[in-house]
């Protein structure tokens, strides 16, 4: 509890703790030249994406590869991918918090930020896909709850709100620490407002902890429902290879899979750039690597179940889509997906010797590429062979779509960078609390789990 008190005096041990954690303030207090260079380069990518988007607004969706019957492409793929990655933070952080996994303490913040940011990009891609952005009002004013598209709107709004609250609550004590360090200026005022007058009183600690606990429990069903509802957008239709009962859990498993991979990549970058080797340790990568390995196997199981059912059913419309993925135009995408989502990560992560930090990061990058391709091979081939008597469609994304995709990733990186400059990317008070509680908890664990 002491860790939650920003105004406490420093004892000998606490001074050591403060010195130890000093590095967590460094990204906020100092900004090197590298930051500005990377920021400028990313800005160029974003500006080009903005140019591409304005071109799309001016000339319409005709500048994309979208056509009839393939009316969903890269944007919807991005939407499903980003919403999937959003399961990184809140869901995983909530699970680890509820299960009292002690090793979570230094990684939860970096994961929770990913969640809140990528949700905006998920929603943003839907708006881009609309073509005419003013049509959003049609959804708001004339939307019908029979449509899974509207279920998506409300569930993602709820998830975004819950995730933002879940990110903010544990930030309050850390913002108070910054408020006490940085006086005056725009930043000082920002911290003063956002700290809400946090002083670490017993009552404040009690209510904050209660709030975080309620949010951790509340956010879990919301997160699961979000990706289930995203899958319903596809499975509630009777399109070939979309109308599947396992799409809900398949999407949720895929989301957690790509979410864990995203956390690992973010942790590796932060560790390298801000020298946070003491906070993002081998044990974190190893534990998340094992989780990723479990999800790799689960992903293979779901994918196998999904495809074997379609193959044995051999329903003509479904087989067309199936063959398109296995041997047709989308075979390269499909097989690269299998290699990147299973063969590479499984080979690396199943072996203790290769499950190092570098190995885990390579596996995670591979998984993220594979999961984007998975979303792409779910969306496009089905629309290429719809059940209705359309001509077989063809779809090749144009430079506009690729630019906007690159712009999304660049903008995400930029906002994430700005966040690390404003707030501690590792929860300082949680780390300190972990140190304080460690001995008692180990004693309690030994007393509870082992025979006396």
Partner 1 sequence: MKGVNRSIENKVVLSVQVFLLVCFYIFALGVFTFLWYAVYRSVVDNDHPAHAVILASVITFAFLILVSVVTMVFTVVIKEGQKKVPDNGGSVNEGEM
Least separation in angstroms between CB 122 and partner 1: 18
Asked if 269 is part of the footprint of partner 1 (rule: CB under 8 A), the reply reads: no
Asked if 236 is part of the footprint of partner 1 (rule: CB under 8 A), the reply reads: no
Q: Are 186 and 137 in contact (CB under 8 A)?
A: no
Q: Which two tokens stand for residue 219?
A: 């956010």
Which residue's entry shows tokens 């509630």? 236
Q: With the CA atoms of 315, 338, 272 and 288 taken in that order, what torsion angle do they form, in degrees rounded to the nearest 10?
A: 70
Least separation in angstroms between CB 254 and partner 1: 24
Contacting partner 1 within 205-224 (CB under 8 A): 207-208, 210-211, 214-215, 218, 222
Interacting residue with partner 1 among 12, 100, 144, 353 (CB under 8 A) = 144
Nearer to partner 1, 191 or 330 (CB): 191
Contacting partner 1 within 7-26 (CB under 8 A): 7
Integer angstrom CA distances of residue 440 from 155, 433, 435? 40, 12, 10
Instruction: Say whether 237 sits in a helix, a strand or coil.
Output: coil
Nearer to partner 1, 140 or 283 (CB): 140
The one-character DSSP state at 340 is I
Asked if 132 is part of the footprint of partner 1 (rule: CB under 8 A), the reply reads: no
Q: Are 401 and 75 in contact (CB under 8 A)?
A: yes
Interacting residue with partner 1 among 38, 57, 169, 350 (CB under 8 A) = 169
Q: CA-CA distance, 179 to 303, in Å (whole number)? A: 49
Asked if 201 is part of the footprint of partner 1 (rule: CB under 8 A), the reply reads: yes
Least separation in angstroms between CB 9 and partner 1: 15
Q: What are phi and psi of 369, to 5 degrees?
A: -65, -45
Least separation in angstroms between CB 227 and partner 1: 16
Is the preceding omega at residue 69 within 30 degrees of 0, hence cis?
yes
Least separation in angstroms between CB 211 and partner 1: 4
Q: What is the size of the binding site for partner 1 (CB under 8 A)?
A: 37
Integer angstrom CA distances of residue 380 from 70, 321, 329, 338, 396? 7, 10, 11, 17, 10
Asked if 162 is part of the footprint of partner 1 (rule: CB under 8 A), the reply reads: yes
Asked if 172 is part of the footprint of partner 1 (rule: CB under 8 A), the reply reads: yes
The one-character DSSP state at 133 is G
Q: CA-CA distance, 118 to 79, in Å (whole number)? A: 9
Contacting partner 1 within 176-195 (CB under 8 A): 179, 189, 192-193, 195
Interface with partner 1 (CB under 8 A): 7, 140, 143-146, 150-151, 154-155, 157-158, 161-162, 165, 169, 172, 179, 189, 192-193, 195-199, 201, 203-204, 207-208, 210-211, 214-215, 218, 222
């Amino acid at each position: 509890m002491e860790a939650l008190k920003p105004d406490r005096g420093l004892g000998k041990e606490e001074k050591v703790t403060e010195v130890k954690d000093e590095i967590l303030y460094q990204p906020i207090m100092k900004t090197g030249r590298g930051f500005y260079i990377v920021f400028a380069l990313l800005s160029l990518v974003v500006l080009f994406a903005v140019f591409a988007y304005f071109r799309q607004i001016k000339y319409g969706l005709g500048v994309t590869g979208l056509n009839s019957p393939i009316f969903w492409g890269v944007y919807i793929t991005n939407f499903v991918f980003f919403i999937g990655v959003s399961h990184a933070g809140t869901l995983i952080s909530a699970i680890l918090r509820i299960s009292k996994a002690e090793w979570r303490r230094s990684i939860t913040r970096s994961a929770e930020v990913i969640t809140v940011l990528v949700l905006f990009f998920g929603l943003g891609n839907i708006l881009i896909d609309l073509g005419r952005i003013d049509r959003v009002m049609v959804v708001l004013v004339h939307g019908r709850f029979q449509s899974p598209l509207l279920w998506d709107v409300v569930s993602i709004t709820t998830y975004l709100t819950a995730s933002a609250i879940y990110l903010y609550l544990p930030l309050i004590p850390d913002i108070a620490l910054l408020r006490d360090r940085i006086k005056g200026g725009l930043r000082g005022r920002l911290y003063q407002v956002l700290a809400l007058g946090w002083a670490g009183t017993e009552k404040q600690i009690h209510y904050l902890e209660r709030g975080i606990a309620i949010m951790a429990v509340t956010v879990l069903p919301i997160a699961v429902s979000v990706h289930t509802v995203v899958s319903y957008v596809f499975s509630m239709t009777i399109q070939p290879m979309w109308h599947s009962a396992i799409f809900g859990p398949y999407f949720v498993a895929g989301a957690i899979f790509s979410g864990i991979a995203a956390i690992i990549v973010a942790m590796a970058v932060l560790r390298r750039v801000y020298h946070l080797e003491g906070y993002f340790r081998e044990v974190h990568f190893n534990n998340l690597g094992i989780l990723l390995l479990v999800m790799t196997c689960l992903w293979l199981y779901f994918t196998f179940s999904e495809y074997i059912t379609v193959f044995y059913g051999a329903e003509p419309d479904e087989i067309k889509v199936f063959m398109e993925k296995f041997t047709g135009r989308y075979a390269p995408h499909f097989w690269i997906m299998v290699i990147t989502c299973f063969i590479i990560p499984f080979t690396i992560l199943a072996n203790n010797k290769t499950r190092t930090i570098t190995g885990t990061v390579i596996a995670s990058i591979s998984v993220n590429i594979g999961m984007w391709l998975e979303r792409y091979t779910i969306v496009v081939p089905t629309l290429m062979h719809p059940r209705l008597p359309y001509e077989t469609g063809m779809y090749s994304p144009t430079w506009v779509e690729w630019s906007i995709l690159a712009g999304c990733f660049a903008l995400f990186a930029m906002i994430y960078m700005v966040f690390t400059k404003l707030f501690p990317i590792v929860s300082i008070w949680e780390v300190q609390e972990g140190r304080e509680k460690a001995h008692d908890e180990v004693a309690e664990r030994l007393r509870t789990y082992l025979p006396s």
